[in-house]
Chain A
Amino acid sequence: MRRILSQARKELTQLFRDRLALALALLLPLILLFLLSTAISLTVHNMPLVIQDLDDSAVSRRLADAFRASLSFHVVSWPTDQPPEKALTSNAARGVLIFPKNLGRDLARGHSPQVQLLVDATDSNTARIVQGYVNQITRAFNQSSGAMASSALVTAQMRLWYNPGRDSPRFYSPGIFVMGISMFPALLAALAMAKEGEQKTILQVYVSSISAHEFLLGKILAFMFIAFCEWVLGMIALFTVFGQHLAGDPTPLIVGTALYAFCVASFGTWVGVGIPNQSAAIQAVALGSFLLVFLLSGLIFPIENIPAGLRWVSNIVWGRYYIEIVRDALLQGGGWPARWFSVLMIAVIGTFFYFMAWLRMRRMQVSA
């Protein structure tokens, strides 16, 4: 035990002397958290919209005003003699709304006129949102003009749970937070381990009396400590800047965090043991932690949308389980019944990484 602790202390001392490494460990996760959580969002607002009013009646002007008043759109002016598609090809607007001639007259006669919406569907998700906004506004317009009341018997009472303001940062910030914790402790652990291999100081370890377990655990403990520091800093940011709060039982989060710190530190150590070359180790960690966690963990885009041939990979992406735990603790509050499996999976994957690192170390120690 004493050997493990002194190994960990040596590791931390070394780390604190390297300014770039220290910035990577403590500063970068925070920067990323702030930057990405504010920048990443899919719910667009204030979209430029062109309205071509071919009717120019009292009704059509009222409808146009309804669009002008909404926060979802800002109406940009467009010369009526220009084809409306031109507004889309030149990126002046993301949608064009065309009110047909005689819109007001048809309405008054009890017909149901159609307004046409042209959406720039280059980005399909945004296109769907724009369509949804337009439908909502026209429906509200119909209701306010008293037309819907007679026909709409069933009204949907929407209840948006866990995030009623549909605040994107509230959803994404826990994920980004997890991405930071997945990446940097692992990166530093891999660098430290690869450096031992590169500078051949590992040979001194082989000839010393320290066992593979003690050596690895010492290293892992040091980087778990880094992960905890990041965790505390990140949590402070989440609670203060992003307005998160605990939604329920925090024990799955606490147990999960301890296991996850072990998991990422073991992953980094394993990479470092396996690849005794710092540049290659950086690439391996970037691939493992960043690409996998970013792409296949449901961080931004839902896992269910990944094609089945690729989706199974997300079952072994450790970040995915921790994201589930953090999101649950901060947003949904499902507690143990909801998240026991995620905690278990982190433990399993972490143990696997540790075992692989140990296997490799032990073999080298014998052969050395």
Chain B
Amino acid sequence: MSRIRALIHKELHQVRRDKRLAISLIVPPTVQILLFGFALDATVSNLRLGVIDWSRTPESRELVSSFTESKSFRLGGYYSSNRDIENAIGRGDLDAGIIVPYEFAREIHRGRPIDVQVLLNASNANTATIAQGYAEGLIASYNQQLAASGVHAAVRVVGPAPLPSRGIINSVTAFLYNPGLVNSWFIVTGTFGVLLILNGSLVASTAMIKERERGTVEQLLMTPASTTDIVVAKITPLFLLLMVMVLLAVGVMRLGFDVPVRGNMLLVILSAALCVLCGIGMGTFLATFTKSAQQAQLTAFFINPPLATLSGSMTPVEAMPSWMQPVTWLNPIRHFGIITRAVLLKGSGIDVLWPHFLALMGFTLVMLSLSIWRFRKQLG
């Protein structure tokens, strides 16, 4: 035990003198969380709407203004021909268009159904899906307004005998946990996990490779310490440093983005610790396969993108093709993301999150033992 303590002491000294390591553990994560949180926002709002109003009546203007006065659309200009609006959408000057037909007001007053055409640039599927929902909602509320104000009530009496009117079902939505629909809460909590794993693995592989490049590993091996001792001693200071980064990231999330803490913060810290260890294990494992720091960095280009994208941290897993969704369970970031979001935003406890903790623990154990095994094999 005293042997390990001495080794840890040595590593701590080494790390403490390495100012660049400390800086690289503090600056990039902070910047990344801030950048990702601010820049990645999927909110669909202020779509530029081009208008062709053939009707030019108070009714049609009311319909158009119910669009442009909503937060979702803003007026992109009036057009006088279908061709112009078509070109404007093609050029990217407009995101959407609405065409109100000539007989709009007349038909409404006669109580007859009438179509308006809504054009959407659907190249971005997400924008199109959400904008379509908005547009349909706006038209529906316009219809309700019409019904309420009784525009055609008088007309209806003249028409065929009114059916016994049936009520309609309305759905009322309550957005739980994030009623303001702050998009950054999702992104920031996701980025957190990606940072832990990727930085953990980067720091660990750099530290391991440095020791090997300098040839100091052999000296360590000549001491009576066992390989496990050496690896544990190497990992401890990195782990401590990365935990400082965890606290820092939590601070940025709290102060910079107002992410609430509704559950037990300890659960988040605990899962973050597991994640960090898992990342360190991955880095150590990777380091045993590569010859130089730069080779390790390049290899990371093959590993990091799938790890980051197949985690549900930036984009919802439910949007992936169904054959791909089960694969994400093999990703520690996925479990960590679920835990963080559930604890911070929903206030869930260990009673529902234990399977994810178990999974994280499993990954960590596997990665650490794999790295110790490879390390031993390589030096044995």
Contacts and interface: CB of A to CB of B under 8 A. Distances in A.
A124 B321 contact: no
Given A39-B315, A89-B348, A112-B169, A166 B125 contact: yes
A128 B181 contact: yes
A131 B134 CA distance: 10
A39 B140 contact: no
B36 interface: yes
B39 to A, nearest CB: 5
B139 A160 contact: no
A118 B320 contact: no
Interface stretch (B85-93, B218-226, B234-242, B361-369): B85-93
Given A107-B169, A295-B35, A139 B140 contact: yes
16 contacts: A21-B298, A44-B318, A46-B318, A112-B170, A116-B174, A118-B173, A119-B176, A124-B43, A129-B133, A135-B171, A155-B115, A160-B122, A161-B89, A166-B122, A170-B123, A306-B39
Interface stretch (A265-273, A327-335, A357-365): A327-335
- Which size class do A's interface residues fall under? 35 or more
Contact of B170 (A108, A138, A154): A138
Interface in A81-125: 85, 88-91, 94, 97, 103, 106-125
A304 B46 contact: yes
Contacts of A278: 294
A282 interface: yes
Interface string B166-187: 1111111111111101110110
Contact of A155 (B114, B147, B167): B114
A186 B100 CA distance: 50
A348 interface: no
Contacts of A157: 115-118
B154 to A, nearest CB: 14
Given A42-B316, A305-B43, A148 B352 contact: no
A240 interface: no
B345 interface: yes
Contacts of B298: 20-21, 24, 282
Given A157-B118, A171-B125, A132 B166 contact: no
Interface of A: 20-21, 23-24, 28, 31-32, 35-36, 38-47, 63, 85, 88-91, 94, 97, 103, 106-129, 131-136, 138-139, 141-142, 145-164, 166-168, 170-171, 187, 191, 278-279, 282-283, 291, 295-296, 300-302, 304-307, 310, 324, 327-328, 331-334, 337-338
A160 B346 CA distance: 36
B125 A168 contact: yes
A161 B120 CA distance: 6
Nearest to A162: B123
B256 interface: no
B330 interface: no
Most chain A C-beta atoms within 10 Å of own C-beta, residue among B118, B169, B171, B348: B169
Contacts of A115: 169-172
A161 B174 contact: no
Contacts of A63: 169
B139 A302 contact: no
A295 B183 CA distance: 15
Interface string B283-313: 0000000000111011101100110011000
Given A129-B126, A156-B115, 10 more contacts: A41-B125, A122-B177, A122-B186, A128-B133, A134-B171, A136-B133, A282-B298, A302-B42, A328-B92, A338-B90
B146 interface: yes
A108 to B, nearest CB: 7
Contact of A156 (B139, B179, B315): B139
A129 B299 CA distance: 37
Contacts of B321: 38
A153 B173 contact: no
B164 to A, nearest CB: 7
Contacts of B136: 132, 135-136, 139, 156, 158
Given A107-B169, A146-B166, A331-B123, A122 B294 contact: no
Contact of B167 (A94, A107, A159, A302): A107
Contacts of B314: 300
Interface stretch (B2-10, B105-113, B371-379): B105-113
Contacts of B108: 153-154
Closest 6 CB pairs of A and B: A132-B133, A160-B122, A305-B41, A124-B181, A121-B175, A121-B178
B116 A154 contact: yes
Contact of A43 (B46, B111, B118, B126): B126
Given A122-B177, A300-B314, A153 B170 contact: no
A30 to B, nearest CB: 12
Contacts of B75: none
A154 B59 CA distance: 11
B319 interface: yes
B324 interface: yes
B241 to A, nearest CB: 19
Contact of B40 (A20, A28, A171, A300): A300
A293 to B, nearest CB: 12
Contacts of A159: 117-120
A45 B130 contact: no
B258 to A, nearest CB: 14
B15 interface: no
Contacts of B299: 20
B114 A118 contact: no
Nearest to B120: A160
A153 B120 contact: no
Interface in B33-78: 35-36, 38-46, 63
Contacts of B272: none
Nearest to A47: B318
Contacts of A168: 125-126, 319
